[in-house]
Amino acid sequence: MSSKPPSPMVLLYFLGLLLLATFLLGRLLWPFVAILILSYLLTTIFAPVYAFFNKKFSPQFASLATCGLIVVLIFVPMVFFVGTLSSEAYALFQLTKGTNLALKFTEFVEQNVILAKLKGVLEGYGIQVELKAFSAEISNLGRASALFVYNQASAWAANILNFIFDFLMMILIIFFLLIDQEQLKIYLQRLSPLPDHHDRLLISKFEEISRAILIGNGVCGLIQGVLGGVVFAFMGISSPVLWGAVMAILAFLPIVGIGLVLLPAALILLLKGKIGAGILMAIFYVFLSFSIEYIVKPQMVGERVKMHTLLVFLSILGGLKVFGFLGIIYGPLIVTGFLTLADIYFGSYDVWVKSPGFWKGGSEKE
C-alpha cells in the first residue's frame, strides 16, 4: 500500500466508479430485497440456535439443521394457514355480496330492543338514522375487506411455485448467512466511511429492533391471534382463522390492538342477548391484552425498543400503507435507522455542523 495520498482527480474518479458499481449492484439485487431483508432478520433470530448446533457439529451441518428447523416452524404451518385463510375469506366475501349483509344488519337493528330504543332516542333529538345507507356502507366495508384478504391469500395459493421458489431462496441465503454473518459485518464496516463504532451501533440497533419485532411483537401477535381464533371457534363465530389472522396483525399496533376485533364482537354478543358470552369475551380481551402487553412482551423484548408509542403506531401504519404486509417490519426498521443516525449526529457531528468555521474550511468556532 502506497503512503502517498491519491490526487483529488484520481479519488473522485474512483469514487464515481464505486458509486456506479454500487448502483448497478443495487439494481441487480432489488428484485430480491424483501427476501434479503427477511433472510437477514431470520438469521439474526436463529443465530443462537445455530451457535448451539455449532458447538457439537461443523458449521455447515449446524446451518443445515437450523434451516431445517426454520422450514418446520415457518413454512409448513404457513402452507396450511394460507389455504384455510383463502377459503374463509372467500366465504366472507360471498356473504357480503349483494344486499344480503345490508338486509341482515337492518333486520338485526330493527329487531333488537336496545338498538331500537337507541334509534328512537336519537330521532327524538332530531338525529335521523338511515339504516339502509348505514347498512350499505357496512356491507361495502365488509366486502372490500374480505376481497382484499381473499386476493392476498389467493395470490399466495395461486403462485405456489413462486412462493416455494422465494422460500427456498431465502433458506439458501440463511444457510450461508449463518456461517458467514460475522465476516459480512466486518466487510460492511470496512466499506463504510463512518467510524467502526458508529457502524457497530447501527448494525446492533437493526438487530435489536428486528428481534423485538419478530420475537416480541411477532410471537405475541401470533399468540393473541391463535387464542382469539380459538375463542371465536369455541363461541361459534364464523371464520375463526380469518379473524385470528386479523387479530395477529392488529396485535402489532399499540394502544388499539386486538380490541378492534374483540370489543365489537363482545358488543354484538351482548346485543344478541348472549350476555354471558359477551361478558366472557370482554374479560378474555382484558386478560389477554394485559398479560401479553405487560407481562409476556416485556420479558421477551426487555428494554431493547426505546421508541415512543405514537411513533411505533405511525411507523407500522405507514409501513403497511407503503410496503404492504411487510411494512409491519420495514416501518419500525426505518424509524430505528433514523433515530440511531440522529443520536450519532447529536453525539458526534452536531457541534461541528453548527460551527461557522467548519463550513469555511476551518476547525475553530467563531
Q: Does the pLDDT of residue 165 top 90, yes or no?
A: no
Same-domain check for residues 132 and 164: yes
Cα–Cα distance, 290 to 283 (Å, whole number): 11
What does the pLDDT look like over 101-126, one tens digit per residue?
A: 555 555 555 555 566 666 666 666 66
Asked whether residue 200 falls in the same domain as residue 341, the answer is yes
Least confident of 47-61, 302-316, 331-345: 302-316
- Residue 64 has a pLDDT of 93
Asked if 170 and 39 sit in the same domain, the reply is yes
> Could you tell me if 204 and 337 lie in one domain?
yes
Tell which of 147, 181, 215 closes a domain.
181
Per-residue pLDDT at 298 exceeds 70: no
> Do 237 and 121 fall within a single domain?
no
Cell output for 96: 357480503
Between residues 293 and 54, the one the model is more confident about: 54
The answer, yes or no, to whether residue 173 has pLDDT greater than 90, is: yes
Q: How far apart are CA 39 and CA 172, in angstroms?
A: 9
Backbone angles phi, psi at 133, to 5 degrees: -65, -40
Residue-range definition of the domain harbouring residue 47:
34-181
Region class of 302: left (phi > 0), else alpha (psi between -120 and 50), else beta: left
Is the residue at 200 inside a domain?
A: yes
Is 16 among the domain residues?
A: no
Residue 321 included in any domain: yes
pLDDT at 192: 82
Is 186 contained in some domain? no
Residue 289 counted as domain residue = yes
Nearest partner of 82 among 166, 25, 156, judged by Cα: 156
Q: Say if residue 95's pLDDT is above 50.
A: yes
Would you state the cell numbers that stand for residue 82, as one nine-digit string? 394460507
Q: Answer yes or no: are the C-beta atoms of 110 and 174 closer than 8 Å.
A: no
How many domains does the chain contain in total?
Answer: 2
Q: Report the distance separating Cα 85 and Cα 240, nearest Å.
A: 9
Average pLDDT of the residues in 231-240: 81
Whether 154 and 275 map to the same domain: the answer is no
| Residue 87, in any domain of the structure | yes
Last residue in a domain, options 117, 149, 181: 181
Residues 237 and 169 grouped into a single domain: no
Residue type, 81: F
Mean pLDDT of the chain: 76
User: What sign for the dihedral angle of Cα 291, 47, 323, 153?
Assistant: negative
**Do 175 and 49 share a domain, yes or no?**
yes
Percent of the chain with pLDDT over 70: 70
Regarding whether 259 and 175 lie in a shared domain, the answer is no
> What pLDDT was estimated at residue 363?
45
Task: Give the pLDDT of residue 62.
Answer: 92
pLDDT on residue 366: 41
Interatomic CA distance for residues 151 and 158, integer angstroms: 10
pLDDT band at 76 (very low <50, low <70, confident <90, very high): confident
Query: Are 308 and 335 part of one and the same domain?
Result: yes
Q: Is the pLDDT of residue 161 over 70?
A: no
pTM for this prediction:
0.66
Q: Does residue 355 belong to any structural domain of this protein?
A: no
- 149 and 65 share one domain: yes
Does any domain span residue 191? no
Tally of residues, the chain: 366
> Is 323 found in the same domain as 258?
yes
